[in-house]
Structure 1
Amino acid sequence: MIDPSQVAEELFVAEREHKAIDPFTDAHPDFDLEAAYETQRLVVQKKVDAGDPLVGAKLGLTSRAKQEAMSVSDPLYGKVTRSMLAPYGEPVDLSQLIQPRVEPEIAFLLGAELGGGATVTEVLAATEAIFAGMDVLDSRYRDYRFTLPDVVADNCSAGKFLLGPRALSPTDLPDLGLLGCVFRSDGEVVYTAAGAAVMGHPAASVAWLVNRLAERGESIPSGSLVFSGGLTAPIPLRAGHSVTAEFDGLGTVEVYA
């Protein structure tokens, strides 16, 4: 099996130079999920060591349809560093990305640390604020062609993230599973969805992450942001393009380039 440190270095260079590469499992089919998460840890640690601290986490494959497409039964997760948070109201710099795609998400700001065995109720009680969010995905693999270990190693295609301007307590919102979202591209409706598209309830996605990290001896500190997973399929982001997501109660978040 290829060494995770070698994979991490190649992914780090691909991201730095904005150049897509072939998935590692093409040449190394024995590259497995455990090695992939170790690779992800090394990639993220390189960022942290360079002065880009962790601020949270992101989830992927949180919908049943996406899981079935990848032949898995669980989501996956990546980490979010400070430089990944894009300023709201400013265009996304496409020169810093390879092949950006955008999907709407519900983001959680945790006001308390959670341990293993977390439930939806405990996640909501620990949540300081809920935001409308946007995940600007950016795979380092050509044409988004990858296997599960490849995408995990690539920090789950983490690129940039945006938060909408409105923050609300969970108690100020209706049931998050019923919270609606209208996703538009240049003003035209592309998809509609509700929070239940993410594991039946977006807080269930956060609870899954907390519990999975606890199995690895890790936790999510208080003050962390968690992007709970895409409510819809992603769409490409191009120059001169505007993508918006309108959330019930949370307002609109826009990404443009």
Structure 2
Amino acid sequence: MLMSSQALRYAHQLLDARAQSKVIPRISESEPLSVEDAYEIAHNIRNIRVAQGEQPIGRKIGFVVRKNWERYGIIDDARIPTWAPMYDTTVRFAEDNHGLQSLTGAVQPRIEPEIVFKLGKTPAPNASLEELADCLEWMAHGFEIVVCPFPKWEFTVADSIAAFGLHGTLIVGEPHVLSSASRHHLPQILASASVSLSCSTESASVLRAAGFCNDEMDSPLHALWHLHQLLQKQTRFRKLQAGEIITTGTWTDACPIEPGQTWTTAFSGVTLPGLTVSFV
């Protein structure tokens, strides 16, 4: 278990690496780092960012949809769900589902297509999956730009939690307000959906990835339920609240991105428009 002074020191190291856009050795190289230690570092980071004027407005969820996480360079068990705060400085909305995003300062950036929810009501502590769905105001498609301060994208799950959950920026498309019927059938709707991810440059356009939820138990809604359950046990963090924006994990492998590229998605099986973002 890290001492509080150590957790604070690592929090400042990670914030400095982010501010300076630099790569640093992963924390777990220098000493054992548990998931509990990582959330203590994350809590320190949150307090520092709030003191500097940033406002937490939601959460990002990671490592929920089952896939070959070893491709990311993860060197331990990635089957546990994780989360990190998102801020008013890291979440933006695309106009007409088109966006322009600078990659200046982004360290080893990659792109992830995700489903984003907004909570219209605060869920009860013991909310079921159905009751949690009833708390949703809207869902949208989003691109999360994930970044990694560790060499070659190699880290443990605890390292990733400490390092902002790898969250860089969330770009949210047009919200789709959910009717009562849509909320009731949301797990089934999302379980039958799929997404394609394409990259265009001046010379070519290429399909880079495609993804889907494996079943209802692997859906974005189930990821939200896992987060809600986890937060009941984490007394240092605020529970989910009405108004929060939650991005629920990537549907494809995270693809490296560069300036000069335009990335586009298309959905099938769910009434959501695709999203197009150009990077500079």
Q: Which interval holds the TM-score relative to the shorter structure?
A: over 0.9
Residue of structure 1 in register with 2:27 after alignment:
24
Matched ranges for 1:77-88 at <5 A = 77-88=83-94
Matched ranges for 1:80-159 at <5 A = 80-88=86-94, 89-159=98-168
Quick one: distance in 1 between partners of 2:275 and 2:218? Answer: 23
**What does the per-residue CA deviation read over 1:151-177, in whole Å, with 9 as the maximum and x for residues that have no partner?**
110121010001112423164577122
Quick one: distance in 2 between partners of 1:191 and 1:74? Answer: 24
Inter-CA distance 199–135: structure 2 relative to 1 (3 Å threshold): farther
Secondary structure at 1:165 match in 2 = coil
Inter-CA distance 50–197: structure 2 relative to 1 (3 Å threshold): farther
Residue of structure 2 in register with 1:60 after alignment:
62
Residue of structure 2 in register with 1:235 after alignment:
255
1:67–1:75 Cα contact (<8 Å) kept: no
Residue of structure 1 in register with 2:272 after alignment:
250
Inter-CA distance 137–112: structure 2 relative to 1 (3 Å threshold): same
**What does the per-residue CA deviation read over 1:218-253, in whole Å, with 9 as the maximum and x for residues that have no partner?**
311101011011111110110101112222311011
The count of corresponding residues between Structure 1 and Structure 2 is 256
1:198–1:231 Cα contact (<8 Å) kept: no
Larger Rg: 2
TM-score (norm 1): 0.92
Inter-CA distance 144–72: structure 2 relative to 1 (3 Å threshold): closer
Q: Does 1:41 align with 2:43?
A: yes
2:140–2:172 Cα contact (<8 Å) kept: yes
Aligned residue identity for 2:274: T
TM-score (norm 2): 0.85
Identity %: 21
Inter-CA distance 148–159: structure 2 relative to 1 (3 Å threshold): same
* RMSD of equivalent CA atoms: 2.0
- Structure 2: gaps of 5 or more residues: none
More displaced stretch, 200-209 vs 92-101: 92-101
Aligned residue identity for 1:31: L
1:137–1:160 Cα contact (<8 Å) kept: yes
1:110–1:225 Cα contact (<8 Å) kept: yes
Displacement of 1:87 in angstroms is 4.4
Secondary structure at 2:89 match in 1 = helix
Inter-CA distance 198–58: structure 2 relative to 1 (3 Å threshold): farther
Quick one: distance in 1 between partners of 2:233 and 2:69? Answer: 21
**What does the per-residue CA deviation read over 1:156-211, in whole Å, with 9 as the maximum and x for residues that have no partner?**
10100011124231645771221221111224222222244795211000011011
Quick one: distance in 1 between partners of 2:257 and 2:49? Answer: 25
1:62–1:199 Cα contact (<8 Å) kept: no
